[in-house]
């Protein structure tokens, strides 16, 4: 498989607004480091999962790849081209190649649009096809996401659909331009458990059918294990562990990854859970100004070196990396 995406030391910092006291006392401006020196690559047709608690930078990373945010520094290469330098027609072509499935299907759809208008809008923006051809493509996409017969859905409005049907419509819109890369940001978190399996089945089917490269963003390790080939675990803007999905989940090495895996519920009343003790919660305003490891205050295996130097990624298996002083 050819390399499609290469992320090299990408950072995204959001500056704090300075108040009068900050200006009077001449305090240095601070920033929230939402994504901090993240590097990875994705090959064509590959599925990558991004896991972590809320506030770790997962969604910001997805928006950077979709060029909804401009990176503060670093490079995002798509087919060898730096995404941050694209403009005009080249940026339009990249928009066509990259689509996003947003988390909340209740706010992702314009309530004034019919299903037909919503799904066909990207074709209109990119000036693709005649009105009749756009209608045909919209109908075909509804069939692909298992909303059949499509005539039943085309002229209805969002308030007439359930959450699962809305998410399938959002998926159909993301596919209408036949993209190469798809960012799925918590695609089932807003849905009832009873309809999640059906939506995941649709996503799995279209990934194979359209030969998509997909990044799944979720805090649900069970979902990621089912849908993805590789997994990257993020904490406070950094990737602390990455590798093949089964290796990372069955043999977690970073203390944070172990805690995430230990928190996954197992549908077996006789299963004995192993307690993994981590302290506190994710900082509400993570400025990441610490010199050492960002996880040191919550880690039950912290050492003196963890407070003095940030750990570097270490290869501990076949394409299995971990950033922890326990393995340096």
Cα separation, 131 vs 4, in Å, equals: 33
What mean pLDDT, rounded, does the chain reach? Answer: 89
Report the domain count for the chain: 1
pLDDT digits (tens, 9 = 90+) for 49-59: 999 988 889 99
Retrieve residue 218's tokens.
């979720």
In a domain, 196, yes or no: yes
Cα separation, 85 vs 199, in Å, equals: 35
For residue 300, with 0-12 CB atoms within 10 Å meaning exposed, 13-18 middle and 19 or more buried, which class applies? exposed
pLDDT digits (tens, 9 = 90+) for 79-120: 999 999 999 999 999 999 999 998 888 888 999 999 999 999
User: Which residues are within 8 A (CB) of 185 and not within 5 positions of it... i.e. 6 or more apart?
Assistant: 58, 59, 62, 100, 101, 102, 103, 217
In a domain, 134, yes or no: yes
Contact 78, 70 (CB under 8 A): no
Q: Mean pLDDT over residues 39-45, rounded?
A: 94
Domain region containing 104: 3-323
pLDDT digits (tens, 9 = 90+) for 225-276: 999 999 999 999 999 999 999 999 999 999 999 989 988 887 778 777 777 7
| Closest to 61 in 3D by CA, of 49, 47, 79 | 49
Retrieve residue 228's tokens.
């993805």
Retrieve residue 168's tokens.
């399938």
Retrieve residue 41's tokens.
């690559």
DSSP H helical segments within the chain, as ranges?
Answer: 20-24, 58-65, 88-97, 105-108, 115-125, 131-144, 163-175, 193-209, 221-227, 245-250, 255-262
DSSP letter at 125 equals: H
Single pTM value for the model? 0.91
Sign, CA torsion 150/151/154/158: negative
In a domain, 249, yes or no: yes
Q: What is the reported pLDDT for 328?
A: 76
In a domain, 68, yes or no: yes
Contact 238, 282 (CB under 8 A): no
Q: What is the reported pLDDT for 287?
A: 59
In a domain, 328, yes or no: no
**181: CATH:** 3.40.50.300
pLDDT digits (tens, 9 = 90+) for 124-178: 999 999 999 999 999 999 999 999 899 999 999 999 999 899 999 999 999 999 9
Q: What is the reported pLDDT for 25?
A: 72
In a domain, 63, yes or no: yes
Binned at pLDDT 50, 70 and 90, residue 282 comes out as confident
In a domain, 269, yes or no: yes
Q: What is the reported pLDDT for 112?
A: 93
In a domain, 94, yes or no: yes
Q: Mean pLDDT over residues 67-79, rounded?
A: 95
% the chain with pLDDT above 90: 62
Q: What is the reported pLDDT for 288?
A: 53
């Amino acid at each position: 498989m050819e390399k499609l995406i290469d992320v090299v030391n990408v950072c995204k910092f959001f500056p704090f607004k300075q108040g009068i006291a900050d200006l009077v006392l001449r305090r240095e401006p601070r920033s929230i480091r939402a994504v901090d020196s993240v590097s990875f690559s994705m090959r064509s047709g590959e599925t990558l999962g991004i896991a972590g608690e809320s506030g770790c930078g997962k969604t910001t990373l997805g928006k950077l790849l979709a060029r909804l945010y401009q990176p503060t520094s670093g490079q995002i290469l798509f087919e060898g081209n730096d995404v941050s330098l694209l403009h005009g027609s080249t940026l339009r072509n990249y928009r066509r190649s990259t689509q996003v499935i947003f988390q909340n299907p209740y706010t992702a759809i314009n309530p004034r649009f019919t299903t037909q208008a919503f799904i066909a809008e990207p074709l209109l923006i990119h000036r693709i096809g005649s009105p009749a051809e756009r209608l045909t493509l919209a109908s075909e996409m509804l069939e692909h996401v298992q909303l059949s017969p499509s005539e039943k859905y085309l002229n209805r409005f969002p308030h007439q659909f359930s959450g699962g049907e809305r998410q399938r419509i959002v998926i159909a819109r993301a596919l209408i331009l036949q993209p190469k890369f798809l960012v799925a940001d918590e695609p089932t978190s807003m849905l009832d458990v009873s309809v999640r399996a059906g939506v995941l089945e649709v996503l799995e089917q279209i990934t194979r059918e359209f030969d998509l490269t997909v990044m799944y963003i979720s805090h649900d390790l069970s979902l990621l294990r089912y849908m993805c080939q590789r997994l990257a675990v993020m904490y406070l803007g950094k990737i602390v562990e990455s590798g093949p999905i089964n290796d990372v989940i069955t043999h977690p090495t970073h203390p944070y990854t172990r805690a995430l895996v230990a928190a996954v519920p197992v549908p077996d009343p006789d299963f004995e859970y192993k307690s993994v003790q981590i302290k506190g919660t994710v900082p509400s305003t993570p400025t990441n100004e610490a010199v050492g490891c960002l996880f040191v205050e919550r880690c039950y295996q912290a050492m003196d070196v963890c407070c003095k130097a940030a750990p570097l990624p270490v290869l501990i298996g076949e394409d299995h990396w971990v950033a922890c002083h326990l393995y340096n």
